[in-house]
Amino acid sequence: MQTCTTADVPYPPEVVAVLDVARDIIEDGHLHSILSSAVELRDLRLHFPFDQNIMTQTSLVSVFRDTTWKKLRKLQLSQVFANSANVVDFLLRHKATLRELSLYEMELLEGTWESTFMEIAGKLPRLRRIRLRGSFVDESAEWEFGSIPRKFSARGNAIENYILRGGSWPDLEAFPDREQEKKDFPGYVEPTLAHEDEDTWSDDSAESYDSDDFGKL
C-alpha cells in the first residue's frame, strides 16, 4: 500500500500523517490485538474512512482473523472488503448471539453477494434486525441498497427480510429498482423480527431494538 504525500491528495500533512498511522495499526495487527483482547465485547462498530488516494478499504480478515466474541450482540461495519467465505464464516461463528447487523459500503474480492446472502439466510437464529446500506460490490455486479434516511429500497428490504427469515430467494424484479420515499408509505417499518418474541439475555438484561443509533455509521 503506497504512502501518499500532500502533493498527491488534497489533505493537509497532519491528516495524511494520521491516516498513515491508522493504516499501520491495521496492517501490523495492532487493531486485531486490541479487539481480540476484549473478550466481553457485545457491541462492535467499525467505520473505516476510505480514500483510494491514501489507503484502500480495510480487509475483514486483517481486523478479525479467527476471533470469536462469545457475547457479541450488535455489529456495524463500514467500508470493508473480504471474500464471500470470510463474511459467511465470521457471521455464522456469531450466530448464537448476534442480534443486530448493519453493513455499509462493502466489497467482495471473491464470490458474489447473492451467494453470500444465500449462505447466511435463515441461519442466524438470534438476528432480529439487519440494515444493508450503500454500494455492495462483487466480482460480477454492484448492488445498491440506498443511503438516504428518508427513503428506502424495496429490493433491499426484500433481501433483508430474506436474510432474517430464510426461505426462497426473493424475486427482485417484482420490486422497483429505485429508492422510494418513506412518507409515501404510511406505517412503513424496516425489516425486523424484534417484536416477534420476548427475549432476555443470560445476564437478565433486556435487549432494546428501537434505538435511533441502530445502523448509524
pLDDT digits (tens, 9 = 90+) for 186-198: 878 888 887 665 4
**Residue 108 in domain:** yes
Considering the domain boundaries, does residue 77 fall inside one? Answer: yes
In a domain, 4, yes or no: no
Cα 146 from Cα 131, distance rounded (Å): 11
pLDDT at site 23: 66
Residue 31 lies in a domain: yes
Residue 3 belongs to some domain of the structure: no
Percent of the chain with pLDDT strictly greater than 90: 38
Instruction: Tell me the residue length of the chain.
Output: 217
CA dihedral for 216, 88, 109, 22, sign (positive or negative): positive
Q: Among residues 29, 30, 50, 32, which one has the least CA distance to residue 41?
A: 32
Quick: pLDDT tens for 22-36: 666 666 666 666 777
Its domain, for residue 108, covers 13-184
Backbone angles phi, psi at 55, to 5 degrees: -150, 145
Whether 202 maps to a domain, the answer reads no
How many folded domains does the chain comprise?
Answer: 1
Task: State how far the Cα of 76 lies from the Cα of 101, in Å rounded to an integer.
Answer: 6
Vertex 113, ends 112 and 115: CA angle to 5°?
Answer: 70
C-alpha distance from residue 115 to each of 28, 121, 181, 212 (Å): 31, 10, 29, 31
- Assigned domain for 2 exists: no
On whether residue 38 sits in a domain, the answer given is yes
The pLDDT value recorded for residue 37 is 74
pLDDT value of position 55: 44
Q: Which positions of the chain have pLDDT values less than 50?
A: 1-7, 53-55, 198-212, 214, 217
